[in-house]
Structure 1
Amino acid sequence: MTKDNFKQAIVEAHQRLENLSQLASLAVEKSIGHDSPRELLQQAMTEISISLEELQQQNEELIATRHLVEAERQRYYNLFNFAPDGYLLTDATGIIQEANYAAAKLLNVRQSYLIGKPMAVFVHQTERQKFRQIMLQLQQQGQIRREELRFFHGQGITDFPAELTAIAVGDSQGKTGNLRWLFRDISDRHQQEQKIREQAALLDITTDAIIVEDLDNQILFWNQGAEKMYGWQVQEAQGKNAWEILFKETSPLLSTAQKTVIEHGTWQGELHKFTKDGKEIIIASRWTLMLDAVGLPKSILIIDTDITEKKQLETQLLRSQRLESLGILASGIAHDLNNLLTPILGVAQLLPLKYPHLDALSLQMLKILEINAKRGGDLVGQILAFAGGSEREHTIVLVSQLIEDIKRIAQQTFPKFIDINTDIAPNVGVVLGDSTELHQVLMNLVVNARDAMPNGGKLCISATKLFIDENYARMHIAATVNSYVKITVADTGVGINSEIIDQIFDPFFTTKEVGKGTGLGLSILMGIVNSHGGFVEVASQVGIGTKFQVYLPSKEGRISQVTDEIELPKGQGELILVVDDEVAITEIAKTTLEFCNYKVLTAQNGIEALNLYSQHKNEIRLVLMDMMMPIMGGETAISTMKVINPQVQIIAMSGLARSEALLETTGVDIQGFLAKPFTTNQLLNKVQKIFR
């Protein structure tokens, strides 16, 4: 029952009582009537009863309505007071009139404490200007939504970011009556957002490329690492097909990778990808399948690491290890060959001296023997160069003159349809090295270039000076921070297939037909360049051509003048002890020295040499000692002789030129070194140098 209905029931009850009162008065006045007083009283009581029943009914309805209103009011209070978000009711100026339990809890105060306080006092002082702007906006627009504001209360030690929503409620005159505020603590959201920002920063800071692709290879995510690695900006890459921009052609490995990751959830392996500018790089790629909310495949997360530099270093290291192992074998062979060639060369040179009246044919045959022994020695020298054991005396070599000599030889011997050019920088300068070996290096390269151009082409030999910094040296095992001369031999020939380019420096590897190449040229070249402290790079494209770049440490200086050797210096009867396990070498050395007026004792090992030296130490003026002998090696024998007589004069001999360096590093004191095979002049000049 409404309030108006209740008032109407009261009026009607009063009307009935008024009617009864009028009837009673009329009956008294006339004392007569249709009804007796008893009947009138009965009628009045009936009317009163009806009215009372109606009033009772209406009163019950009113009570029920009041209970309903109270229940609704309690429900509203519960919703208001125990809502998880804070609610405030303020007047138009921001004075708090009502506050729920959540608001008090968020601000860490009692509810009663809030009533009558300006809302502004609970806003962080750094954001009170922003709060005033929100109040103004609320007055003008009637509402604000999802504004961020920092709440603070020093006594409650409260400080948190809040999301704020508010509406302005107008009064009967259309003015702002009060303001209703809702706010919630969004600290957790800020922490999550900060975590997401940190994770996003990590994704961009990492040098790895992080890519997300859908199952059709369309790029969904592309981090800064991917931008740096592949050159495609994020706006260029997103939405593109990854296989189209990162691969030149679809390989079976790609299809296998995608099938594996879908079936098993992960895949990893090495892929060859291409950057935006067409550079090929080697990638260690890890793929992970991403699932949607119902567990179905939706995308593939790919993490790529550029391992191009690592693979290059591994290749260089493996190549060095192969060359080192083969070099050890080559050194042993070279030593034995030099021991064989030494007496042959000695006999071929000594016989014409002892028998000057030999017929022309015999002299010619001996000359052939001498020439071939020397050629054999040069071949052994090449093997030693490959083995890294050749340590011939280095002199200043003028790079421009070296290249011009190679050009002249090539122009005289190469087919005319090969165009030969040189490009030498004016400041290219000089290098320290063996001119014969460096000549061999360049001749090998230009001959290979000629063979790569059977139908003609262009051959260019260039040289320039450059400085190698730390970054470049870090990527090349043999390089150091230094000034280098770079000699480039480039051709427009058939090129080298990328599948075999890493094998071309291996001994005995050749692409030439049987009988047209031994496969030793480039391996020997590599050994020579390494022995000069340099390194070699090669780049080639099939059908385009090949470019070899030889890097040699630069040296400032002038070319040293070569002095003529003094021929057959004679001795004064000095006693010399010759020690070698090869009888042929001791005999030819003895014969040669005796022919030139020296006295000679011989021994076949270190122990025998020590016995002889102990007996004749006062007469022996010089010891020729082989370094590699059985029973007792030369190094030990020399050290022991130095104990017996610190002034003993010793010339070390070896078929391995690097034995001289070994003696220097071990500190053994010697007066000279003679590399096998040695000529008669070399032997006599070395001995004469000691006796000067």
Structure 2
Amino acid sequence: MAGDNLEQAIAGAHRRLENLSRRASQTQRQDFAVELLQEAITEISISLEELHVSAEELQQQNEELAATRQLVEAERQRYQDLFNFAPDAYLVTDVTGIIQEANYAAVQLLNVRQGALIGKPFSVFVYQAERHKFRLMMLRLRQQKQIRGQELWMFHNNGDIDFPAEVTATLTGGDSKGKPDSLRWLLRDISDRYRTEQKIREQAALLDITTDAILVRNLDNQVLFWNKGAENVYGWRTEEILGKNASILLPQTSPKTSPQLAAIIKIVSELGSWQGELYKVTKDGKKLVIASRWTLMRDPAGLPKSILTVDTDITEKKQLETRLFRTQRLESLGTLASGIAHDLNNILTPMVTIAQLLPLKHLQMDENSQQMLKLLETNAKRGSDLIQQILSFTHSSEGKRTIVSVSQIIEDIEQMIKRTFPQFIDIYTDISPDVGIVLGDSTQLHQVLMNLVVNARDAMPNGGSLRISATKLSLNQNHHKIRIGAKTGSYIVITVSDTGVGICPEIIDRIFDPFFTTKEVGKGTGLGLSTVIGIINNHGGFVDVSSEIEVGSQFQVYLPSSEESIDSVVDEIELPIGQGELILVVDDEAAITQITKTTLEIHNYRVLTAENGIEALALYTLHKNEIQLVLMDMMMPSMAGGTAIRTLQIMNREVQIIAMSGLASAEALTQFTGGIQGFLPKPFTVHELLNSVQQVLTSGSKSFH
């Protein structure tokens, strides 16, 4: 280096001068002294030249050193800036944890002035419950020289805001004996990340709590995510389904599935979402109706990545809707049938009454005429029964309710079908000893079973087994929740099953529709099962059906069990005779008023007739003190029967009224008229007319309810 060269040059000059001085002291010659002087001057010049060269080299080194110092200072300043303005908190402590340096981020994070921060123990900023963990971190630092990504809860200087920090630390420096010099700490506030992770955990918990099936599939249809709801809906555990093709959920027997799935994926790819109904299957093969919602998920670059699907099991809802639609169809057709039935009953009432009245009026009538009248009466009653059959699937017609033995009805049906059904059909009955009784119409319930067993017979053209059973069953909330109108309580369940051809799934929801039949033209009216469900609904029960092609069908009739006792009403054998009482008959059908007037007059009653409510009120005003009973039709022009009845009751609170209708039930009439004393359903017989009149007149003012 230049410094070393300079020292060497000076030392060489000193040696040469000393050598010349020694030589000069040893001689006295004048000429030799001059020679030595010249030689000394030469040596000095050489030394000066060497010194000049060394000085230049030294100047250059000084300049280089100054430049290096500037670079070092710039690097130091850059390091200091990086240290101070880094986004994360940096601390330097000694090996005991006393803070020696802290950057601006650390000052802000710990909420302490930088000057006050220096010299404080790092542990004072660690959350109390985490200090043991901090001591373990210090121990690991001494052993392993570094720690990374450790989570440590800390708090600000005022101690009122806790936050989680991610800690990374290294042990640096050391003296000649290897003793560590300092610890360098990097602190990162991960509050946002912690909150995000917590939110993700909460959302994941919600995904598992929800009853909906949530799954994510990749673009190759492989399942990537499967929540608890999906496990519950489909039966597949997460470990069983992850990585599998999601088409495992689609029924293999459905011809519509594959093209529908391809269309859905195309729509999702183009529009980003799709929603609709799908038919899927569980792990156990159970078919479900699913409300499915698909959403296309994209990666940060906006490219399609996966498909999120949310599935809701609506199988039960669809069953309820089907039952509701069926009920609505029955109600709509029932409204239409009710209007027709009213007119037909008005037509049949005079026919029945005349057919019964003429033999009483003409006692000498020949046998042929009597047979013809009997035939007229029989056919009129058959027409009336057909009308009641049409109305039985509505709430407009109810039969007489008595105690009915279920076992007795089944035994009667068994005896009948064993005599009439083909021999190749095996008939079995199984009646529980404690099956009990129901409160209902014996004729209607007999009709229900006959319709069911005849259908079973027709379903087994090549023979088979017909089984009728009856047992008691108590229904709770779980049993009746999917049956519209079903109530908890004790039921008698009558089951009619066959081993016939079965019912196609496509039509099983329509079999209870009126006039729907699968039988050939002329072999079925389509009223059998609609009559069945109408009668059972009117008895407070319901019907369940299950069927499988080529295996057979099963119909289960649920009837509320009853332990009450009601005496059956028996018509009087002898027709009652009046005492000359005055009766007002009101009906817009002239034939009915005429035949009713004639019948009553034959049996010693006096009769006034009116064609509508207005005329009836006028007649009643004139003969108020004489009229003892009013027979009022409920459906008339000008003024309906209900309005006329309420007006009569205002005129006379004690008025005796028998309502007549070919449509409404007695219970329905009381809702519109308050209290009436009797009810005559059309068409009525002579016996029913006279017995009703006699009962009201002898009972005084007791109302009919």
Please indicate, yes or no, whether the TM-score normalized by the shorter chain is above 0.5.
yes
Instruction: Please give the alpha-carbon distance, in whole angstroms, between the structure 2 residues aligned to 1:614 and 1:102.
Output: 105
Instruction: Please give the alpha-carbon distance, in whole angstroms, between the structure 2 residues aligned to 1:432 and 1:342.
Output: 29
Give the aligned partner of residue 661 of structure 2.
654
After TM superposition, list the pairs within 5 Å mapping 1:262-301 onto structure 2: 262-301=269-308
Change (3 A) 1:7 1:556: farther
User: CA offsets per residue over residues 126-178 of structure 1, 9 Å max, x none?
Assistant: 21010001111111222111101122233486632111111223543234332
- Check conservation: 1:397, 1:432, Cα contact below 8 A: yes
Greater Cα shift, 7-16 or 381-390: 7-16
Decide which of 119, 124, 128 is 1:121's aligned counterpart.
124
Give the aligned partner of residue 319 of structure 1.
326
Greater Cα shift, 41-50 or 315-324: 41-50
- Check conservation: 2:435, 2:492, Cα contact below 8 A: yes
Give the aligned partner of residue 408 of structure 2.
401
Give the aligned partner of residue 242 of structure 1.
246
Decide which of 670, 685, 690 is 1:679's aligned counterpart.
685
User: CA offsets per residue over residues 191-232 of structure 1, 9 Å max, x none?
Assistant: 221232233233333332222212222111112222222221
Decide which of 58, 73, 89 is 2:76's aligned counterpart.
73
One-letter amino acid of the counterpart of residue 29, structure 1: S
After TM superposition, list the pairs within 5 Å mapping 1:122-521 onto structure 2: 122-155=125-158, 159-169=162-172, 170-249=174-253, 250-470=257-477, 472-521=479-528
- Check conservation: 2:112, 2:157, Cα contact below 8 A: no
Decide which of 6, 11, 29 is 1:15's aligned counterpart.
11
Change (3 A) 1:10 1:539: farther
SS of alignment partner, residue 502 of structure 1 = coil
SS of alignment partner, residue 601 of structure 1 = strand
- Check conservation: 1:108, 1:158, Cα contact below 8 A: no
Change (3 A) 1:327 1:581: same
Instruction: Please give the alpha-carbon distance, in whole angstroms, between the structure 1 residues aligned to 2:150 and 2:378.
Output: 99
Instruction: Please give the alpha-carbon distance, in whole angstroms, between the structure 2 residues aligned to 1:131 and 1:458.
Output: 82
Greater Cα shift, 222-231 or 167-176: 167-176
Give the aligned partner of residue 55 of structure 1.
58
One-letter amino acid of the counterpart of residue 534, structure 2: G
Instruction: Please give the alpha-carbon distance, in whole angstroms, between the structure 2 residues aligned to 1:30 and 1:146.
Output: 85
Instruction: Please give the alpha-carbon distance, in whole angstroms, between the structure 1 residues aligned to 2:466 and 2:4.
Output: 122
User: CA offsets per residue over residues 633-661 of structure 1, 9 Å max, x none?
Assistant: 32233233333333222222111242x23
One-letter amino acid of the counterpart of residue 260, structure 1: I
Give the aligned partner of residue 703 of structure 2.
none
Decide which of 103, 106, 110 is 2:106's aligned counterpart.
103
Instruction: Please give the alpha-carbon distance, in whole angstroms, between the structure 1 residues aligned to 2:395 and 2:160.
Output: 77
One-letter amino acid of the counterpart of residue 675, structure 1: P
Greater Cα shift, 406-415 or 142-151: 406-415
Give the aligned partner of residue 29 of structure 1.
25
Change (3 A) 1:114 1:506: same
Greater Cα shift, 16-25 or 531-540: 16-25
- Check conservation: 1:398, 1:559, Cα contact below 8 A: no
One-letter amino acid of the counterpart of residue 16, structure 1: G
One-letter amino acid of the counterpart of residue 11, structure 2: Q
Change (3 A) 1:598 1:89: same
Greater Cα shift, 533-542 or 493-502: 533-542
Greater Cα shift, 241-250 or 675-684: 241-250
Change (3 A) 1:187 1:644: closer
Give the aligned partner of residue 701 of structure 2.
none
Change (3 A) 1:174 1:457: farther
SS of alignment partner, residue 149 of structure 2 = strand
Instruction: Please give the alpha-carbon distance, in whole angstroms, between the structure 2 residues aligned to 1:158 and 1:564.
Output: 92
One-letter amino acid of the counterpart of residue 513, structure 1: E
One-letter amino acid of the counterpart of residue 22, structure 1: E
Change (3 A) 1:558 1:78: same
SS of alignment partner, residue 572 of structure 2 = coil
Change (3 A) 1:21 1:539: farther
Q: Is the aligned partner of 1:629 residue 2:636?
A: yes
Deviation at 1:561, TM superposition (A): 4.4
Gaps of 5+ in 2: 28-32, 699-705
Change (3 A) 1:339 1:444: same
TM-score scaled by structure 1? 0.93
Instruction: Please give the alpha-carbon distance, in whole angstroms, between the structure 2 residues aligned to 1:360 and 1:80.
Output: 129
Give the aligned partner of residue 672 of structure 2.
666
Instruction: Please give the alpha-carbon distance, in whole angstroms, between the structure 2 residues aligned to 1:465 and 1:210.
Output: 42
Instruction: Please give the alpha-carbon distance, in whole angstroms, between the structure 2 residues aligned to 1:6 and 1:394.
Output: 133
One-letter amino acid of the counterpart of residue 229, structure 1: V
Greater Cα shift, 393-402 or 6-15: 6-15
Change (3 A) 1:394 1:6: farther
Deviation at 1:318, TM superposition (A): 2.0
Change (3 A) 1:454 1:49: same
Deviation at 1:360, TM superposition (A): 2.3
Deviation at 1:444, TM superposition (A): 0.9
Task: Give RMSD over aligned pairs.
Answer: 2.4
User: CA offsets per residue over residues 539-578 of structure 1, 9 Å max, x none?
Assistant: 2222222222222222222463454523212222222222
Decide which of 73, 78, 85 is 2:88's aligned counterpart.
85
Change (3 A) 1:530 1:43: same
- Check conservation: 1:392, 1:657, Cα contact below 8 A: no
Change (3 A) 1:467 1:612: same
Instruction: Please give the alpha-carbon distance, in whole angstroms, between the structure 2 residues aligned to 1:186 and 1:492.
Output: 71
Instruction: Please give the alpha-carbon distance, in whole angstroms, between the structure 2 residues aligned to 1:300 and 1:524.
Output: 50
One-letter amino acid of the counterpart of residue 174, structure 1: G
Instruction: Please give the alpha-carbon distance, in whole angstroms, between the structure 2 residues aligned to 1:361 and 1:496.
Output: 49
Deviation at 1:430, TM superposition (A): 2.2
User: CA offsets per residue over residues 484-536 of structure 1, 9 Å max, x none?
Assistant: 33322222221211211221111111111111101111112222122112222
Instruction: Please give the alpha-carbon distance, in whole angstroms, between the structure 1 residues aligned to 2:473 and 2:662.
Output: 37
Change (3 A) 1:296 1:81: closer
Instruction: Please give the alpha-carbon distance, in whole angstroms, between the structure 2 residues aligned to 1:132 and 1:58.
Output: 51
Instruction: Please give the alpha-carbon distance, in whole angstroms, between the structure 1 residues aligned to 2:65 and 2:649.
Output: 133
Instruction: Please give the alpha-carbon distance, in whole angstroms, between the structure 2 residues aligned to 1:409 and 1:450.
Output: 13
SS of alignment partner, residue 464 of structure 1 = strand
Greater Cα shift, 632-641 or 439-448: 632-641
Change (3 A) 1:157 1:111: farther
Deviation at 1:310, TM superposition (A): 2.6
Change (3 A) 1:605 1:55: closer
